[in-house]
Amino acid sequence: MRLFSTPLAVLATLAGCATAFNVNCNSNYASYYGQNSARNQKTLGSYCADATEDVIVLAFMNGFPNIILNFANACETTFEGSSLLHCPNIAADIKLCQSKGKAVVLSMGGAAGSYGFSSDSQASQFADTMWNMFFKGTAAQRPFDDAVLDGIDLDIEGGSASGYTAFISQLRTHYASDPSRQYYIAAAPQCPFPDSYLGSTLNSAWIDMVYVQFYNNYCGLNAYPTWFNFADWDNWAKTQSLNKNVKIYIGAPGGPSAASSGYTDGSTLSTIFNAVRSKYTSLGGIMTWDVSQARSSGLAGSIRAMLDAGGSCSNNGGGTTSSTSTTASSSTTVSSSNPASTSNTVSTPAYSTASSPSTTTVVSTSSSSSAQPSSSSTPASCPVSGATCSGSQQGCNGQSFALCNQGKWYTSSCTPGTYCYMSGGVATCDWSNGRPTNTCAISGTSSFSKRADLTRSPLITAANLRPKPVSAIANIPTRVEFVAGDIVDNKYTTVVKIQANKSAFTGNWLISFKLPAGQTADSTSRGSLGVNGNTITISSDRNAESLQNMAAYFKITGTFNGQYALPDTASAVFIST
């Protein structure tokens, strides 16, 4: 990702000179910087003093096209008479990092913010703005002064999905105007494939690196090997990506508190990484959220060691140079088609959030037609392993999913806490989020049947069926969302997501809301917990919080009777002083 004082394809030859980042290697380490996740974030330059990371991703530009930057305690000064951050210290450190052979890119988006494009025209114009403010162009106000970035990263987790292909195309036009450097485009989708926000962009724009977030979802590192889906992304890289040399990174939480789920220790991560490296040529390395977490936990050192053990580099070109075709319209050697004969059919999840397991899509291994049989050919009953089925049918039987393979049902259990549901003829494993957990269904039938040995689940309000962010009663514009986490027996984890809409909130805050009937709350992973009947209040620990925050994510745990349900978002009250 990025830009150096000499072309990146040339290895440094002078003694003491750092080797430049090489996008074609499978031993690269990228880490995000700027959000102070571990609450002990150091200067950018201090992390660049050694050879641990290869790529630093500055987080975030969480507002665009009306630019908003947020780097927590790393930069809190603005241009005179403006709200735009002016970060001379980061600017100096960018140059230091690049002198050490590291790439520095700016991440656009994030979990909280106000961003997105209304049209391709607006997106293209904003690419011009980006070039002028952060690359080789000129602008009256440049947040990093004369420092020149090595590229951008798209971490799109909200807003409209339109315009990003046009944005990349126009930005690459600017990239090509500077043959002295290599610039890059990276993307950071969540692991459910295809990504809800970036799926179409990944298929239609030239991307150099993809930092897949293998955490906070059913397909995370903690689900290895059952649901861990690097294979889906490798298949995309080889069959759908315009850039057939695109590199896929294993995105990992840098520490136990860096994500709601998905953290693995160095030994476990090394086992997963080595298995992926031995099998998939699209692997580019490892990404962590974030550098403060990874350095504090010691995981960063473990990652560097595993990356350096047996890494290799290909001879394929990457990035953008003046002689490289960079857009779909000008490329004559890359096809954007996805031959049906070489890939399985994967359905699009109904939704995907950053803090909860999204729908697990079961991929059929049958080589037969994907057309579903008519309702008259299949009885409305539970699929049983070994029983007769037809075609490429799929089905559900409570907590098990079923696939028809050569005329016989093959059944397998969903991961603990999830249940099987049919979606458009496809069997999926998902958190119940209040839905019945005892349904039987087979694709091609017109109705669902319940198992007679199980009693009917109680009904809950529609608002609790799926997570949906709502504006909270608050003294600043804020969204609150509740997302189902681990549900085992009668114990639950609910993820609470607080996101500022425009202005940051202080480190002194509290949120209160009502629990569904039959639920108790025992603990919170952030702040302190107060309970008054079915109303709970979480108050921040001011000593552990940043002075300014755009988001706060944490977990509450407890028990429930009957069926698990999400708290009613309409009851949420948020106050920041």
Q: Which residues are catalytic?
A: 157
Cis bond before residue 65 (omega within 30° of 0):
yes
Rounded to whole angstroms, the Cα distance separating 132 from 499 reads: 30
* Whole-number Cα distances in Å, 399 to 327, 431, 517: 45, 11, 24
Residue whose C-alpha is closest to residue 241's, from 183, 179, 307, 195: 195
Count of H helices and E strands in the chain? 9, 30
Report how far Cα 353 is from the mean position of its chain's Cα atoms. Answer: 9
Rounded to whole angstroms, the Cα distance separating 565 from 435 reads: 9
Whether residue 68 contacts residue 94, with contact meaning beta carbons closer than 8 Å, is answered with no
| DSSP, res 43 | -
Rounded to whole angstroms, the Cα distance separating 321 from 181 reads: 7
Q: What angle do CA 244, 135, 175 make, to 5 degrees?
A: 35
Beta strands across the sheet bearing 400-405 = 408-413, 400-405, 394-397, 439-442, 449-450
Whether residue 574 contacts residue 469, with contact meaning beta carbons closer than 8 Å, is answered with no
- In 258-354, the DSSP E strands lie at 283-289
Three-state SS for 194-262 is CCCCCHHHHHHCCCCEEEEECCCCCCCHHHCCCCCCHHHHHHHHHHCCCCCCCEEEEEEECCCCCCCCC
DSSP per residue, 122-177: HHHHHHHHHHHHHSSS--S--TTTT---SEEEEEE-SS---SHHHHHHHHHHHHHT
Whether residue 30 contacts residue 300, with contact meaning beta carbons closer than 8 Å, is answered with no
Residue with tokens 């689940």: 457
- Which element (helix H / strand E) includes 270? helix 266-279
Query: What six digits make up the tokens of 571?
Result: 């009851």
| Residues near 304 by beta carbon (within 8 Å), at least 6 away in sequence | 29, 51, 52
Query: How far from each other are the two terminal CA atoms of the chain, in whole angstroms?
Result: 40
Residue with tokens 């809190």: 76
